[in-house]
Every structure is written in C-alpha cells, then in structure tokens.
A = this chain, B = another copy of it.
Amino acid sequence: MAHKFINEIEAGETIDDIYMVREPILRSTTRGDLYIAMFLSDRTGQLNGRMWQATETIYKALPKPGFIHIQGRSELYQNNLQIIINNISVIDATGVCVEDFLARTDKDTDKMFEEVKKTVGRIKNPQLKALVEEFLADTELMEKFCKAPGGTALHHNYLGGLLEHTLNMLKVAVAILPLYPDVQPDLVLAGIFLHDMGKTEELSYDMAFSYTDSGQLIGHIVKTALIVNQKADALRAKGTQIDQAVLDALEHIILSHHGEYEFGSPKLPATPEAFMVYYIDDLDAKVAQVRAAIDNEPGDSNWTAWKNALQTRLYRKRIE
C-alpha cells in the first residue's frame, strides 16, 4: 500500500501508516493523566501527534528518533492539523523505504555514477588514474558517495546530492577545459571527483541530515585529505608509484577549494587548477542554492525573504 504523505493529509481522515517519530515527550494533563506529544514526519513535512491515555511503558519503547506505525485520526486544532493516535507499534528502520522519509535527488543515481566513472576515465596521468581507480574500487565508499547529500541546508541537501553536484561539476569542467589549454585537465577532474569525498563521513543521513561527531571535529575538507592520503598509502604499499608532488598538487586543490580562510579552507588556491575547481564548485553550489531558494519560497511575491548566506533577497521573476 502506498505511503500516505504528510502533505496529502486533510482534517478528518483515518490514518494507518508509518511515520518518523521525533522528540516524543511524556506529559501529564492538569488532571494528572499521562499523554505523549511528538512530531510525526516524512519527506513532505511534519505534524504534531498526540497519544492520550499513554503509559510510561509505551513512551519508553519509542525510538528517539525512529519509525512507528500508527493508527489514529487527523483533526484541526487551533487551525493546525494534528494526529490523534490510538495505537503505536515500533518499526525496524531496516524495513522502511528511507526515500519516503528523506528527500532524494530526482535523477537516476546509477546513471549518474556511470557518467562520473566515464568522465574520470578521461584521466591519463597514470598516478592520478591509479588513485581515482583505488577510490572507484572501494565499493563501500562508493555506495556512500552515491547516497550522501551534498550538504545539510543550503544546496543539494538531499540523498544523492553529493553525486549530483560532483557530476555537474565534472560536466562543467569537461565543457570549459578546452578553453583553458594551460590548465592541467587530469588534476582538475581528479580534484573535482574527490573534492567533497569526506562528506561521506562528515554527514549522517540515515534518519535526517546532520553532522557526525567526527565531521564536526575534523570537517569534510580535512576528512577528504585524510582519505586521499590513506588511498595513496595503500597504493604505495601495493607498489604503485605515487609521487609526493602529484599527491601534494591534488591535496592542495582539496584543501583550498572553499577559496577563503573564513569558509574553512586552510590554504588559499595557488595553482590554476585549484582556482578552477574552486570557481566551478562555487558556481554550481550557488546556482543550485539560488534556484532552491526561489523554488521553495511560499507565495508568489517577486522576491524571496532575506537570505543571510547571500546577504540579499532573491528576485524570482523571469523576463524570458
């Protein structure tokens, strides 16, 4: 049976479906009866849920957060929809279609990953080629690479977003590299493929998009540098030559790709390749961010609300 999405529920319906439960709280009414308040959500939105005549046993069994199957009824309360729950059963996350609960790219991740592989297949420098292939051969990492979001908030913040963003950057690079014959294409392509690889470890995205402890303490820029270093060490242990100069030039692109110290880059771009990857990354991220902000703005005003990260409101009207 198809999932009943949160944004499709109207007042007065019978509800019998799985939702993600977050922040459940056990409270007592003024008469001393216990009830549970909670948020119920899927990828389309979130509602308040109330289970009256609750017990501490039910409360303790609830995942925080996690998935529950509920039976109940929707109703309007102070002009907001809420769900009155009669029955709760906890659901194992493994049996749940996570895409119903987390936003995901509307593109085909398999196809996108094939395109990524094809594009980095253009790399001719044997050491960069070996390094990239070492990554492609790490199927566990590649699975994460295909699933991870591109970020938690501003752009590509959905499952598959990292892959989509990386592929788009590769396409931009392939399109413009012929216009800059002095720029070394292998470094640019390898740099783009790897630039955000550490986000697979920086972000968690099973229940919601958030930062891991390790991600917050280290950051994806250094995480990426560490992984690249480990792969190079592994290759060297297998007898493959990886010159320090090649590794340094590649890691420099990764470490400088935010372009400014205040955005967490420990190094500023110092090679044409580092500048190119920085601009392609920023261009693709900002256009996606502007696009998303314009699309997600409620109402039909010509302007979005103030966007602090861009220090402006955005103009939504098209002239063409």
The residues of A with any CB-CB pair to B shorter than 8 Å are 11, 27-30, 75-77, 79, 124-125, 168, 171-172, 175-176, 179-180, 182-187, 213-214, 216-219, 221-222, 225-226, 229-230, 233, 243-246, 248-249, 251-252, 255, 261-272, 275-276, 279-280, 282-283, 286-287, 290-291, 294, 302-303, 310-315, 317-320
Whether A272 and B244, one on each chain, are in contact in the complex, defined by CB atoms closer than 8 angstroms, is no
Q: Given that A28-B76, A175-B179 are known contacts, is A275 also in contact with B286, CB under 8 Å in the complex? A: yes
Query: Within 8 Å CB of A219, what residues of B?
Result: 255, 266-267
Query: Within 8 Å CB of A310, what residues of B?
Result: 268-270
State A217–B255 Cα separation when bound (angstroms).
9
State A287–B252 Cα separation when bound (angstroms).
16
Whether B290 and A248, one on each chain, are in contact in the complex, defined by CB atoms closer than 8 angstroms, is no
Query: Within 8 Å CB of A186, what residues of B?
Result: 320
Query: Within 8 Å CB of A313, what residues of B?
Result: 216, 270
Whether A320 and B187, one on each chain, are in contact in the complex, defined by CB atoms closer than 8 angstroms, is yes
Q: Given that A175-B176, A179-B168, A286-B279 are known contacts, is A315 also in contact with B266, CB under 8 Å in the complex? A: no
Q: Given that A266-B264, A268-B311, A291-B182 are known contacts, is A248 also in contact with B214, CB under 8 Å in the complex? A: yes
Query: Within 8 Å CB of A221, what residues of B?
Result: 266
State A185–B233 Cα separation when bound (angstroms).
32
Contact of A213 among B245, B283, B312 (CB under 8 A): B245
State A287–B317 Cα separation when bound (angstroms).
33
Query: Within 8 Å CB of A271, what residues of B?
Result: 290, 314-315
State A67–B79 Cα separation when bound (angstroms).
26
Query: How many whole Å from A49's CB to the nearest CB in chain B?
Result: 15
16 contacts between A and B (CB under 8 A): A11-B28, A171-B179, A183-B287, A213-B315, A214-B245, A216-B313, A218-B225, A219-B266, A219-B267, A221-B266, A226-B226, A261-B262, A268-B312, A269-B310, A270-B312, A279-B282
